[in-house]
Structure 1
């Protein structure tokens, strides 16, 4: 199956799965807040963030090994695939044990990380945390098997398994909350279902790839192992820096402000993440295709596809960022009430970072598929230090908005530096064209936002479900019409249109 067909299939299943899980997640969060309150909602979000930080123990091993699999999978070299998968299996078992040990070591410090947990004692905080830790650690004993599925461009398999698991988990959790209101049962339900999922996944993938059960597996050569080690060393810095920049906001909010505010921010992030996940399905679904493209095609073709990929990202992330700027807070008002609304300056900072994060995803995905890890190995670490320093200093001076200023500043470091690396290493070109296009996209987005803001003043004078719906429709029509008016004749749009045209012909 070709790269475009594989990506299309992955995107279709990804959309179906994402819509299902996000709707269920929204219903669950609404019921959770109503029955268990804002404090436990904040604790739930905080522990999710802490375990994301702990997951940095993976330190890029999975990324390096996934890259190494693209070539053998494309060549159908099963002996080499077995060798890489055996190494991956051993590495992830060690990683799971390391995360477990670090997680246990952190547990005595939980009272210092959770500020003002109204009605929740230290004993409960600790037991809740151990359940979260178990879920994270156990995943590492199965996760490595997905690498082969994804290297074959069959990401939909993982998507479908996760979707079914989420549907079962959320449905049971809703019942538990409504009939018992017990947070322990809520967490244990998820732990049990996810444990059953891991057992199923292990057996299913063993049947799908029976050669992985072979005992006769050759060890990788010193050169092959050394390549993985070198890439992993470089990725260590990326991983640590990314965690320090992206996964510490909830911890800083909880430690310096209060844990309930973590829940309020989490309400915004849930909506953002729901849409971002929907968008990221497209970009993550073509990542394995990029690996195949880079392994088999010329640099010039790689460059053309990269430009299409980047154009589409600016379109989709621009559209969603503008829509969020106009509609995110009104949605929170309708859903949770005015008392849980964040300041306009905070929301603006979150959305500025959201847009530029979309730009970074394009750069990072292509760089990952190309195996370009070492050239900027210290960059993410620098970003992490900058983010922590600015966020911790400013949160004490100007509050919540200071945390997101740190996030924006640290993120822009990558937006300015990664293009130089990718254009030089992957395309042998200068990056000037990239920045010129960035300015062009930003100007167009600013003009469209100004027009829609003026229209919002007329359409949404008061926040009601009716005015919200009308403004949503206006955003969809006006943004996309104006964006296509400007970019509809470009080569990048022409490429996307041709794919859609051929797809429709086959229907």
Structure 2
């Protein structure tokens, strides 16, 4: 088991997580470019709709993954190998059953795809293509459960490295074979192949890191209280999963049904870029999730208050900074990459960025909620979130001329009307030491900045040209401008003062060490003389 310090684990997870995510983003960008050039916007839209349909099928997972991760924190902290073996055996059994359920459910669903997709006949046999897409998800359940152990043990960097390397392999093979064959089916077969290889490698690595998993002796019986808590968290996680899927998994389906696959393709390009950036940020933030849980489980509740607001400061700084950069360069980049025909209006992009930043800002509360295991407490919130988003989305897209904007506005309404207050409320009930008034003030301040950033997309006094060097230069300048402005407007925040003190302390220590080395060197020279 992992015996390294929390700081070292967090740094390792962040370093490899960010590095591999950068490679994955580059690969996805290259892969999407080849995909669009060789196939068409309709195929890209079809790929997006398949992903959304599959998200609904993954409800069979019941959110058990998060519940299992939470149940592993305690035995890992206590180095209870027998309990870890028992939990992982239970996890394996559950995931094998889930894989079979998704396979059967997917095959049945394939006969009803016409209800979700209005596709031209030139795309071929949609049912066969969907089943190939389905198989990629099914095969992941047979070894992927081992990834949970790595993440819970603060070794997410092992998984990040594995996923990054196999993603590179996948994109290279898919690009080469797409150019050679121009067949979407071949693209999907390669995806299945690399998923199997990636999951098997994780299985092999965990066997080496946790040799006791290979022990075939009798398994310890999991105590009733652990099983009871696991069931409770699984039910709560299931509700949460419904909310997540309907919030983020219905967009492409609604756009396909009411507008068309080509519109899904255009929307998918923006979501690829936004998800790539958020994936990069989430990699860095998620790298400390297990560290937060470990900290909470070994400290008094009151001591976590300062850490919470420090983390909130960091999360919102990066969320808003990335939003600021995207407000300046997103449309010029799309124009450079794909051309004028693949651009959305400035108003739509402003809505996209505002909704995107709002969701990133939730990371502070969500990370602490995961660490506290608040799955049960969020069950009704997630159902309300899901139903509101779906109903509002359908009403707006079917009764107005808002088209793609309808889907985004529905998500914003849910984000502000439900998530903005319910998630903090649940967390604050879990730890009453958190300063409620301070949280409300901070959140309102950050949201006001997010609104200003979104408006910049429409009313920016500077219009960036669709030139790669200019876009890169504009991005760098945007980062510098935002950082300076953010530091100035938060100068009186306690979090800002703590980070400045920590930063200046490190500089002082570095200078003192170097001076000491120079003095030692001079003394040694005097002694020699």
Question: Does the 8 Å CA contact 1:39/1:118 hold for their aligned counterparts?
Answer: no
* Distance change >3 Å, CA 458–CA 184, structure 1 → 2: closer
Using the TM superposition, name which of 424-433 and 268-277 deviates more: 424-433
Matches within 5 A, 1:139-288: 139-215=140-216, 216-288=218-290
Are 2:438 and 1:433 equivalent residues in the alignment?
yes
Q: Specify the alignment match of 2:13 in structure 1.
A: 10
Using the TM superposition, name which of 107-116 and 380-389 deviates more: 107-116
Specify which of 426, 433, 444 is matched with residue 421 of structure 1. 426
- Which SS does the other structure have where 2:376 is aligned? coil
Displacement of 1:239: 1.0
- Which SS does the other structure have where 2:374 is aligned? coil
Q: Distance in 1 between matches of 2:497 and 2:182?
A: 54
Q: Distance in 1 between matches of 2:270 and 2:171?
A: 20
Question: Does the 8 Å CA contact 1:424/1:430 hold for their aligned counterparts?
Answer: no
Are 2:384 and 1:382 equivalent residues in the alignment?
yes
Displacement of 1:33: 0.5
* Distance change >3 Å, CA 53–CA 493, structure 1 → 2: farther
Q: Specify the alignment match of 1:30 in structure 2.
A: 33
Displacement of 1:488: 4.2
Q: Distance in 2 between matches of 1:451 and 1:85?
A: 49
From the CA coordinates, give the structure whose radius of gyration is larger: 2
Matches within 5 A, 1:307-318: 307-318=309-320
Q: Distance in 2 between matches of 1:195 and 1:392?
A: 37
* Distance change >3 Å, CA 130–CA 27, structure 1 → 2: same
Displacement of 1:203: 2.5
Displacement of 1:326: 2.2
Q: Distance in 1 between matches of 2:182 and 2:153?
A: 43
Specify which of 81, 88, 92 is matched with residue 91 of structure 2. 88
Q: Distance in 2 between matches of 1:416 and 1:207?
A: 44
Q: Distance in 1 between matches of 2:450 and 2:244?
A: 27
Specify which of 297, 300, 305 is matched with residue 299 of structure 2. 297
Displacement of 1:63: 0.7
Q: Distance in 2 between matches of 1:360 and 1:444?
A: 15
Q: Specify the alignment match of 1:102 in structure 2.
A: 105
Q: Specify the alignment match of 2:525 in structure 1.
A: none
Q: Deviations over 1:234-275 (max 9, x none)?
A: 222111122111111111111111112111111001111111
* Distance change >3 Å, CA 499–CA 370, structure 1 → 2: farther
Specify which of 392, 395, 407 is matched with residue 393 of structure 1. 395
TM-score by length of 2: 0.90
Q: Distance in 1 between matches of 2:498 and 2:357?
A: 23
* Distance change >3 Å, CA 106–CA 451, structure 1 → 2: closer
Specify which of 404, 409, 419 is matched with residue 405 of structure 1. 409
Q: Distance in 2 between matches of 1:279 and 1:489?
A: 26
Residue correspondences, number: 503
Q: Specify the alignment match of 2:521 in structure 1.
A: none
* Distance change >3 Å, CA 444–CA 181, structure 1 → 2: closer
Q: Distance in 1 between matches of 2:155 and 2:114?
A: 43
Q: Distance in 1 between matches of 2:256 and 2:453?
A: 36
Q: Which runs of 5+ in 1 are unaligned?
A: none
Q: Which runs of 5+ in 2 are unaligned?
A: 515-529
- Which SS does the other structure have where 2:373 is aligned? coil
Using the TM superposition, name which of 101-110 and 490-499 deviates more: 490-499
Q: Specify the alignment match of 2:342 in structure 1.
A: 340
Q: Distance in 2 between matches of 1:330 and 1:267?
A: 13
Q: Distance in 1 between matches of 2:350 and 2:456?
A: 17
Using the TM superposition, name which of 45-54 and 302-311 deviates more: 45-54
Q: Distance in 2 between matches of 1:444 and 1:391?
A: 26
